[in-house]
């Protein structure tokens, strides 16, 4: 335990999934007596703001800056935020982003101790003055435990993995009540979030159709995603079922997931957000990314990862397939029958 309350700056800007993977780290630091401030971008702000895992949140609007391109206005905003950070006089800063976009925050934050892993990329290691061993000790080490190695370095060994999320407001709960009002309450609710940001992580859309057709009679099926996912969802669903793509923000999506019996998704922010709610069973489909590392952590009878390791190139961890033949072959697996067997065993046992 920390004898004197010290202030820690946790630098993890994005993506949504990676922000969620860092929540147990933030909880471990706070439970040990540190005052925790999280520097986060727009992609993760909603799961960090008002989350009991932190005392304070600072927004770095990197998405807005990226859209603007190089500009004096963005640089002025950066300096204002940096001034705010330095005024806090942090004792420790931890950079778990470990990339160029976090380098300048770590380097100039003013913390006495600036901690980063030796496996940092894009010269981010130059921002630290304390360097810990690679946090990914093995290719099959769960990422949640990997990030907790920053806590281990500070002498913190949490007895349990604590994942917390902000509470939903009455307005958010009411909106989800209205969105789901037409469902048959006698049937289990299966939420399908078929899209993600990497094309190479998408499961074959015809496989999705087979799964949906086989679950349709006995389940409520609800699709979620962003507004750009509607074309994919319309193909998979055939224009049937409830489609909430583009109709919820992150907080409302949390509420939807918390009411589901099961969430089915590729390796995506949606899958990890569903896991973080702690309520539904989660079946995650892996193609080019390692399920041993990125699968929802914990109860193996509730969280099931399928796919991966069926081809010699898996997991390649690449946004685009680099093979000249069988391009995106990994996106055809697993077999829909295998997915259906798992889904049915989880909701009809």
Cα–Cα distance between 315 and 146 in angstroms, integer?
Answer: 18
Give the pLDDT score at 324.
61
CB neighbourhood size of 5 (10 A) = 9
pLDDT at position 190 over 60: yes
pLDDT of 13 strictly over 90: yes
Phi, psi of 10 (to 5 degrees): -100, 120
Using 50, 70 and 90 to split pLDDT, how confident is the model at 341?
Answer: very high
| Residues 105/95, Cβ–Cβ less than 8 Å | yes
91: left (phi over 0), alpha (psi -120 to 50) or beta: alpha
DSSP string, 39-102: EE-TTTHHHHTT-TT-SEEEE--HHHHHHH-S-HHHHHHHHHHHHHHHHT--SEEEE-S-SHHH
The pLDDT of residue 2 is above 70: no
List pLDDT tens digits, range 198-219.
888 999 999 999 999 999 999 9
**Average pLDDT over the chain, rounded to whole?**
95
Question: Which pLDDT band, with edges at 50, 70 and 90, does 325 fall under?
Answer: low
Q: Which CATH superfamily is domain 7-153 in?
A: Glycogen Phosphorylase B; (3.40.50.2000)
What local confidence, expressed as pLDDT, does residue 317 receive? 87
**Considering the chain, what percentage of its residues have pLDDT values greater than 70?**
98
HSE-up of residue 243 (Cα within 13 Å, Cβ side): 19
SS (H, E, C) 237-271: HCCCCEECCCCCCHHHHHHHHHCCCEEEEECCHHH
Q: What is the pLDDT of residue 3?
A: 62
pLDDT digits (tens, 9 = 90+) for 226-276: 999 999 999 999 999 999 999 999 999 999 999 999 999 999 999 999 999
User: Is the model's pLDDT at 349 over the cut of 80?
Assistant: no
- 285 has a pLDDT exceeding 80: yes
Is residue 191 within 8 A of residue 263, CB to CB? The reply is yes
User: What number is the average pLDDT over the span 12-38?
Assistant: 97
Preceding peptide of 63 cis, ω within 30°: no
Rounded-to-integer distance, Cα 257 and Cα 242, Å: 14
* Tokens (6 digits) for 287: 């193609």
**Strand, coil or helix: 189:** strand
Q: What confidence tier does 137 reach under pLDDT thresholds 50, 70, 90? A: confident
Q: What is the pLDDT of residue 326?
A: 63
pLDDT average, residue stretch 280-289:
96
CA dihedral (319, 325, 331, 337) in degrees, to 10, reads: -170
Give the percent of the chain with pLDDT over 90: 87
**pLDDT (0 to 100) of residue 313:** 87
Class assignment of domain 170-347? alpha beta
Report DSSP state, residue 112. Answer: S
Least confident of 52-56, 309-313, 314-318: 309-313
pLDDT > 80? residue 92: yes
Contact 183, 260 (CB under 8 A): no
Q: Which two tokens stand for residue 30?
A: 């706070």
Q: Is the peptide bond before 315 cis (omega within 30 degrees of 0)?
A: yes
User: In this model, does residue 197 exceed pLDDT 60?
Assistant: yes
- On the question of pLDDT at 70 being above 60, the answer is yes
Please report the DSSP string for 115-158 in residue order. EEETT--TTGGGG-SEEEPPS--STTS-HHHHHTHHHHHTT---
Q: Residue 154: how many CB atoms within 10 A of its CB? A: 19
On the question of a cis peptide bond just before residue 67, with omega within 30 degrees of 0, the verdict is no
Q: Do domains 7-153 and 170-347 have the same CATH topology?
A: yes
For the chain, the domains span 7-153, 170-347
Residue 99: partners with Cβ closer than 8 Å, 6 or more residues away: 120, 121, 122, 124
């Amino acid at each position: 335990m920390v004898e004197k309350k010290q202030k820690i700056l946790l630098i993890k800007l994005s993506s949504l999934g990676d922000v969620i993977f860092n929540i147990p780290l933030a909880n471990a630091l706070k439970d040990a007596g540190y005052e925790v401030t999280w520097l986060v971008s727009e992609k993760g702000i909603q799961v960090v703001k008002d989350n009991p895992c932190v005392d304070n949140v600072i927004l770095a609007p990197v998405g807005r800056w990226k859209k603007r391109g190089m500009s004096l206005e963005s640089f002025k905003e950066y300096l204002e935020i940096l001034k705010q950070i330095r005024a806090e006089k942090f004792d420790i800063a931890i950079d778990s982003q470990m990339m160029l976009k976090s380098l300048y925050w770590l380097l100039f934050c003013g913390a006495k101790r600036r901690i980063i892993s030796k496996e940092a990329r894009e010269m981010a290691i130059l921002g630290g003055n304390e360097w810990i061993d690679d946090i990914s000790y093995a290719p099959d080490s769960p990422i949640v435990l990997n990030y907790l190695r920053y806590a281990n370095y500070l002498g913190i060994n949490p007895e349990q993995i604590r994942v917390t999320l902000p509470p939903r407001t009455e307005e958010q709960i009411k909106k989800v009540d209205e969105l789901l009002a037409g469902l048959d309450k006698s049937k289990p609710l299966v939420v399908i979030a078929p899209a993600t940001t990497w094309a190479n992580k998408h499961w074959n859309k015809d496989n999705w159709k087979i799964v949906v057709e086989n679950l349709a009679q006995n389940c409520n099926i609800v699709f979620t995603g962003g507004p750009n996912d509607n074309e994919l969802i319309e193909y998979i669903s055939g224009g049937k079922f409830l489609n909430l793509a583009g109709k919820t923000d992150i907080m409302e999506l949390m509420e939807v997931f918390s009411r589901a019996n099961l969430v089915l998704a590729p390796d995506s922010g949606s899958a990890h957000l569903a896991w973080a709610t702690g309520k539904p069973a989660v079946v995650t489909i892996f193609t080019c990314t390692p399920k041993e590392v990125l699968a929802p952590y914990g109860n193996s009878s509730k969280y099931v990862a399928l796919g991966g390791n069926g081809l010699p190139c898996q997991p390649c961890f690449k946004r685009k397939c680099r093979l000249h033949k069988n391009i995106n072959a990994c996106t055809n697996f697993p077999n829909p029958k295998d997915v259906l067997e798992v889904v049915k065993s989880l909701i009809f046992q």
